[in-house]
Structure 1
Amino acid sequence: MYASLSSTFALVASLLATSQLVSSTSTHNWWDTPNNFGNISQIESSIRVPQGSDPTNTYWMANGWDGGYMGMQHNSGTERRILFAVWDDGNGSQVKGIKKGKNVLVEGFGGEGTGSHARYLYNWTTGETVYFRVSAKVNYASRYTDYTGYWRAEGVNNNKWNLVATFRAFDITKWLSGVYGFLENFGGDRSEIREGFYGNFTIKNVAGKVNKPSGVTYSHTTPEADSNYEYKFVNGESYMRTDGPKDQGIYPPTNPQ
């Protein structure tokens, strides 16, 4: 048996409103985590983008939970980012960066809720496996939670984890729940294919117990009639795709309902 996803489904529908504006279908994978696992203090996963499936205005989100997300983007012809964001509670709480990695920019954001995010420019390439880690530490006495994001690229700097930032979310005492990933077009062009393989799913609870989720549950935003999208679990990885011609891609789009 697995935890209910009803509340987090509703959350993602609002978070991905921008994808509706460009009539592109966003796809999501929800990690199958055991009900009795306890509070999750750390999540890890990876993303690998096939060659030719990395157009601009794309976000491959690896580690999402019901208070934020982390992944990588292609923002322009020359700019690619690692992005980590934490939301406030929408009722006057604050999220502040208390630590950041070298050359990381931390700032507030709005539009899809409010909070703070950190971005690091990294020229990731297709075929490269990029790993992401998010940890949470709840301080019940002082009523805040520290969320920390790390990234690493396979074989780079001896596989060392790199700090992106630590955010302190005041008046929020929440561990990592509703864990998921997504693939999103945040631009206006649906002609180019966007694909990604999501894998190496790992969770750790507050007692230090580790679990490797062996499957995911999928959802998607409301598609246009001519929208092409696909998702499937293959060899321990979650494949997701959106946009592009119907005759292109690692797996032909079936536009699952």
Structure 2
Amino acid sequence: MTDIQISFGWNAFQTCSTQTCTYSKIKESGVSKWKDSNIIISLFFYVTVAGVYDISLVSDEIQREAELQVNIPSISYSQIAKFNTDSLNLSLGSIQIDNPGYIKVNFQGTNSLINRKTGQYPKLKTLILSNVENISAISFVQDSFSSHFGRRGPSVHLKYNLESKSKIKYFFNEVTVPKKWDAIGTYAMAIGFSSGYFGMQVNSESERKILFSVWSPQKTDDPSTILAENEVKLLAKGKKTVIKSFGNEGSGGQSYLVYPWVTGVAYQFKLVGYPTKDGYSVFTAYFKDPTKFEDYILIASWKRPKTQTYLERVYSFLENFDPEKGNISRKAYFNNQRAFTNKGKNVKIQSATFTYDETATKQQRYDYDGGVDDINGYYLRNCGFFDKTNVKTGDIFKKTQ
């Protein structure tokens, strides 16, 4: 028998029971500075073996006597946890889990404060599962893993398998985000390639972007250190396209169009790439809204030094770039892919290979999925703590039509 310690800083998220809440960012040290009784703190872990587990809550800071409503919706567990300055480790009793899958434990401050003095709700540091026979029966984001990437959730990818890889100059793709699957932090990347990526993002409640970025050949996360000979050069841009540099994931040139794309529309992406005689390669991105434009509009054209390629390793991905939103599922369809060589010859897309990132590879989270729908195309889904699917990295999806 052993105890399993699940850290809130790696595995907890906030939602609001009303229209507005006052949030404080969840840190690695746990949930603190918490005063709003409308906030619900949800901790997630995955159970592979049914059984009875004892649970307790660990805090390292209690400013006032207070009560928390604790519930686990999937097993109809509900209990009031009463804290005082002596209750840094509080037993929450036993829970019976009958089916494997994700367990969500909710914590919400009650309005019935035992002591009405000012202060915050108890800091939530760790949830402990006791009397666990097999430690592999419980999965969650470990403290040794990145809390940033663990809370973001797994990124998922589709690598397109073409009948010929020689001199692909043009690639087309369509992306549709279904209704209610467009959470903040979503990046539905339509066309990735060896030197960059192109797709659409949800940046906030009021802002969305069509984003096209090209990496510098110099490997650095700090764009200010890129030598002049390694700079990605802008050749052209759309009228409303914003141009800037980027870093922290490699560095290079970034271009984006602030654009109010909506769910349920199959937006069209076109990427052109070819080498030039002076040692560069040119990559140009075009975007089409089928409800607004008769033709594609230019996002930007970039010239990458020390590069002599057409479009290589073409793929798509779906990611969440906001660690505070990793508890919300997102989904995207990728359809009607087309590829052409520099001679204009059509190259067939035979299939797509599914992969995922380290968050899934290291079994920190299981909320990932992918597949193919002959009507809507290939799809990717991630985040939201939905139960584990059978899909695994390396699976190949192929349309029947």
Aligned to 1:187: 322
Aligned-pair CA distance for 1:245: 4.5
2:150, 2:365 within 8 Å by CA — same for their partners in 1?
Answer: no
Q: Which residue of 167, 170, 181 corresponds with 2:302?
A: 167
Figure out how many residues of one structure are paired with residues of the other and give that number: 233
Q: What amino acid maps onto 1:238 in structure 2?
A: Y
**For 1:195-214, what aligned pairs fall within 5 Å after superposition?**
195-214=331-350
Displacement, 1:246? 2.2
Unaligned runs of 5+ in 1: 1-16, 248-252
Aligned-partner residue type, residue 56 of structure 1: I
Which among 364, 367, 370 is matched to residue 228 of structure 1?
367
Is 1:124–2:261 an aligned residue pair? yes
CA-based RMSD of the aligned residues comes to: 1.9
State the distance in 2 between where 1:119 and 1:19 align: 24
Are the aligned partners of 1:108 and 1:116 in contact in 2 as well (CA < 8 Å)? yes
Give, in whole Å, the separation in 2 of the partners of 1:175 and 1:88. Answer: 16
Structure 2 counterpart SS, 1:156: coil
Contiguous gaps of at least 5 residues in structure 2: 1-145, 220-226, 393-401
1:25 aligns with 2:25: no
Q: Deviations over 1:128-172 (max 9, x none)?
A: 111111101311x311111100000123222x1000011011221
- Identity level (%): 28
1:108 maps to 2:237:
no
How far, CA to CA, are the matches of 2:299 and 2:278 in structure 1? 24
Task: Name the CA shift for 1:28/1:81 in 2 (closer, same or farther; >3 Å).
Answer: same
Q: In structure 2, what is the Cα distance between the partners aligned to 1:112 and 1:27?
A: 17
Report the counterpart of residue 272 of structure 2 in structure 1: 135
Structure 2 distance, partners of 1:56, 1:161, is: 26
Scaled by the length of structure 1, the TM-score of the pair is 0.85
SS in 1 for 2:293: helix
Query: What amino acid is the match of 1:75?
Result: N
Q: C-alpha offsets along residues 185-222 of structure 1, whole Å, 9 cap, x if unaligned?
A: 11112221100001111111111101241420110013
Partner SS state of residue 20, structure 1? helix
Aligned to 1:145: 281
AA at the equivalent of 2:154: T
Task: Call closer, same or farther: CA 1:83–1:134 in 2, change over 3 Å.
Answer: same
TM-score norm. by structure 2 comes to 0.55
User: Paired residue for 2:167?
Assistant: 39
